[in-house]
Amino acid sequence: MDTEAWGIAYDSSFIKIRVSPDKTRLFFELKQQGGQSDHEKMIHGILEALIQYQILSLNVDHIRWAGKHKEISLAIDNVRVDFAIFFKNEMIHLEVKSEREALLDSTYTQVETVRRKQRIVGLVVPASCFDAVDKALRFRRLYNKVFPVVYEHLIEDPAKELTNLISLAQ
């Protein structure tokens, strides 16, 4: 049974629960102990791409990394972002969301809080849910304030995507 096209109802370090498209079946995928959630995998992928492109003036949440610039704060009011990156003399804040998290109300509350204090805020999501996130940002009047970023594009060429974010925020 191919469950890759099924939706994700829950994802943690230990289990992933998928729901069939007709919502009548569940598939439980047990992960090896210490496995990573999709969110954690995305953060690791982005950090690897940033390092590869020598974009190193950053702080990142959820990962122990000796190269963190801890003086760059991840906390904004009562929330934390996944990445704070100093790039081309601009501070960029990125919140990373998996397909399951991308359309949750809490996601938009979080990025709206960050946007009140920061000028360049990106919401990184998989390509599979980009259009839905784009519509949600428009619906919540966050369009042109919080910028959706395709995860796959970000890990392919982070310098290009970060430069694009800066130009969108101008």
CA distances to 1, 3, 31 from 16, rounded to whole Å, are 16, 11, 8
- Report the predicted TM-score, pTM, of the whole model to 2 decimal places: 0.81
Position 58 scores a pLDDT of 96
Would you state the pLDDT for residue 110?
95
Minimal CA–CA distance to 15: which of 26, 28, 27?
28
Tell me which residue has tokens 């974010």. Answer: 165
The closest of 12, 46, 77, 33 to 152, measured between CA atoms, is 46
The average pLDDT across 26-38 equals 72
Residue 26 reports pLDDT greater than 90: no
User: CA 140 to CA 17: how far, in whole Å?
Assistant: 29
pLDDT of res. 31:
65
Ramachandran assignment for 64, one of left (phi > 0), alpha (psi -120 to 50 degrees), beta (any other): beta
The predicted pLDDT at position 147 comes to 96
| Strand duo 146-150 + 15-19: pairing | unpaired
pLDDT given for residue 130 in this prediction: 96
Supply the pLDDT for residue 34: 57
Q: How many CB atoms lie within 10 A of CB 161?
A: 22
Residue spans per domain, the chain: 1-35, 36-168
- pLDDT for position 33: 54
pLDDT at residue 29 greater than cutoff 80: no
CATH for 36-168? Answer: 3.40.1350
**pLDDT tens digits for range 37-71:** 788 899 999 999 999 999 999 999 988 888 899 99
pLDDT of residue 21: 87
Share of the chain above pLDDT 90, in %: 69
